[in-house]
Homo-oligomer: A and B are copies of this chain.
């Protein structure tokens, strides 16, 4: 199973405008993830103690249960990061990335796999289908998690690769930025689950 998951503002943005090295998710973009950052389920894998446990926690735990991750190049190492112009930079994730499973990065830049702590990043230059296929082989029955950004999620939806779309609709307007769902083909989806929480409405769609 392939699950694409992302937080989105009520007005449809997956990141804010004007991303910069200091503000890589764009203006207001961090607010999309506040519902996660405060949770013990997120803090633990990031090497942080404490945190809250509530209805939002199980959403984070579910996405962590996938056996492999697919992400875009910017989510691995944004072109606007402090390593701008260095195609072999090690990205956002530090010496001990929180994934601890195989991660497949969709990129145009061929590169040897990168091992950081318990996470191996494999760089796939043949497009999203190849990335999801390789992730599926690594994940087996546990499923593949397409983590973003918006570009990769759109490409995966357009290619018919996504079984489940998990959206966390955050009650903010960003006003501008990167739209999460754009340029898709008309389609009907099935609402599989809705979990209401103050910081986000979690809706699971089956494509």
* Contact surface of A with B, Cβ cutoff 8 Å: 10-12, 27-28, 31, 167, 169, 171-175, 179, 181-191, 194, 196-198, 201, 203, 205
CB <8 Å contact, B186 and A172: yes
From the candidates B12, B169, B172, B191, name the one contacting A187 in the complex (CB within 8 A). Answer: B172
Q: Are B189 and A172 in contact (CB under 8 A)?
A: yes
Q: Which residues of B contact A183 (CB under 8 A)?
A: 175
- Stoichiometry (number of copies): 2
A188 touches B175 (CB 8 A): no
Partner of A186, one of B28, B187, B196, B203: B28
Can you name 14 A-B residue pairings with CB atoms under 8 Å? A11-B12, A12-B12, A171-B188, A171-B190, A171-B205, A172-B186, A173-B181, A173-B184, A173-B186, A175-B184, A175-B185, A190-B198, A191-B197, A194-B201
